[in-house]
């Protein structure tokens, strides 16, 4: 999958500004590297060309595989694999891209807070956008597949779901998850228990995934309604609804809220806690101390915490790239 060439592989391309609604800059590569879920199917980040590949649903059309990369410091470029779309489909592709990259989210209030923090002022150069799935359903399913397991197991489970249940886009290989959109609730609800046990190997999560999908299909659960503004749905109510979902505990709720652009909760788990302690030069730090450190950020506390933990991701990747070339 490495070495994707946007210019060579796409006949249709469109440009977009790397500027947020508040005039704040957007660092596209750091957005691609915002968190681990952005590396799971139906997405893939090409290290060599700093290109994000994603197979996205387009309303009213078949899914499209797109390649996204920077086109200079102030513009981004998206290209669609396959035949050139008509005007309406092209607009739909751009809407899907803007959605998953959170390009319409105004982070200028967060930048205003971070500018006065010596340890986080660097984020104002364009960090902070968290890549999300095409739907809230996708983000909930992916989060469930991160609970109580190694990252390799998460990768296996999501790969199997996309490969076997995801709709193919133009040019998709016959096997593997590449070129397939994330499965719909209908597709996941129609899969039997044996599929989740033997193919996905989801363990106890299988019954949660099946129950979640069936509830959405039956209309008793509307996950997309959770992707609402804070004026329509408070953080407290959103958290309450998430905790009522099968398999969702405090960690998963905080994680899903982050994917939905709600950053008041901190994702505290077996990686974030020791990472924070190490970066702050401590052996052990209590959850209360971590919460206090980021409380000045209010509704952006969880985002500030995450960026504090992941500042080195870009620098570390650059050093690894240089080492590979030697």
Q: Are 67 and 28 in contact (CB under 8 A)?
A: no
Instruction: Please report the pLDDT score of residue 253 as a whole number.
Output: 98
Give the span between the Cα atoms of 60 and 73, in whole angstroms.
33
CATH code for residues 6-103: 3.30.310.20
Split at pLDDT 50, 70, 90, the class of 3 is low
Longest alpha-carbon distance in the chain: 58
- pLDDT at residue 224, rounded to an integer: 98
pLDDT computed for residue 316 by the predictor: 56
Beta bridge partners of 78: 14, 68
Scan for tokens 């099968």, then name that residue.
246
Residue with tokens 């590449």: 178
Q: How far apart, in whole angstroms, are the C-alpha atoms of residue 1 and residue 47? A: 10
- Separation of alpha carbons 165 and 178, rounded Å: 12
Beta carbons of 97 and 16 less than 8 angstroms apart: yes
Domain ranges of the chain: 6-103, 136-259, 272-325
- In the Cβ-directed half-sphere of 54, how many Cα atoms lie within 13 Å? 24
- Distance of alpha carbon 184 from alpha carbon 192, whole angstroms: 15
Categorize the per-residue pLDDT at 73 as very low, low, confident or very high, splitting at 50, 70 and 90: confident
CATH-assigned architecture of domain 136-259: Orthogonal Bundle (1.10)
Q: What is the DSSP string of 199-239?
A: IS--TTHHHHHHHHHHHHHHTS--GGGGS--TTTS-HHHHH
User: What average pLDDT does the segment 166-182 reach?
Assistant: 96
């Amino acid at each position: 999958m490495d070495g994707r060439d946007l210019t060579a592989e796409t006949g249709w391309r469109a440009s977009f500004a790397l500027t947020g609604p508040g005039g704040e800059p957007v660092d596209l590569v750091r957005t691609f590297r915002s968190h681990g879920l952005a590396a799971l199917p139906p997405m893939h980040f090409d290290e060599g060309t700093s290109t994000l590949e994603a197979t996205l649903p387009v309303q009213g059309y078949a899914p499209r595989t797109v390649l996204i990369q920077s086109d200079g410091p102030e513009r981004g470029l998206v290209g669609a694999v396959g035949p050139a779309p008509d005007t309406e489909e092209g607009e739909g592709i751009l809407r899907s891209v803007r959605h998953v990259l959170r390009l319409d989210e105004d982070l200028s209030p967060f930048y205003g807070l971070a500018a006065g923090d010596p340890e986080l002022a660097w984020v104002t150069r364009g960090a902070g956008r968290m890549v999300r799935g095409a739907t809230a359903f996708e983000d909930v399913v992916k989060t469930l597949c991160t609970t109580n397991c190694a990252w390799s197991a998460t990768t296996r489970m999501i790969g199997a779901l996309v490969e076997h249940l995801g709709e193919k886009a133009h040019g998709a290989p016959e096997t593997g998850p590449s070129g397939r959109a994330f499965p719909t609730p209908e597709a996941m609800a129609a899969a039997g228990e044996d599929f989740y046990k033997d193919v996905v190997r989801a363990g106890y999560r299988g019954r949660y995934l099946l129950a979640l999908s069936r509830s959405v299909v039956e209309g008793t659960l509307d996950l997309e309604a959770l992707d609402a503004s804070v004026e329509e749905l408070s953080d407290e109510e959103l958290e309450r609804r998430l905790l009522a979902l099968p398999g969702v505990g405090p960690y998963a709720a905080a994680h899903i809220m982050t994917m939905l652009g709600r950053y008041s909760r901190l994702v505290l788990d077996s990686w974030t806690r020791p990472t924070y302690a190490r970066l702050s030069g401590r052996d052990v730090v209590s959850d209360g101390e971590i919460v206090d450190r980021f409380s000045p950020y209010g509704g952006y506390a969880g985002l500030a915490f995450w960026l504090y933990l992941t500042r080195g991701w870009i620098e570390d990747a650059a050093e690894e790239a240089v080492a590979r070339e030697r």
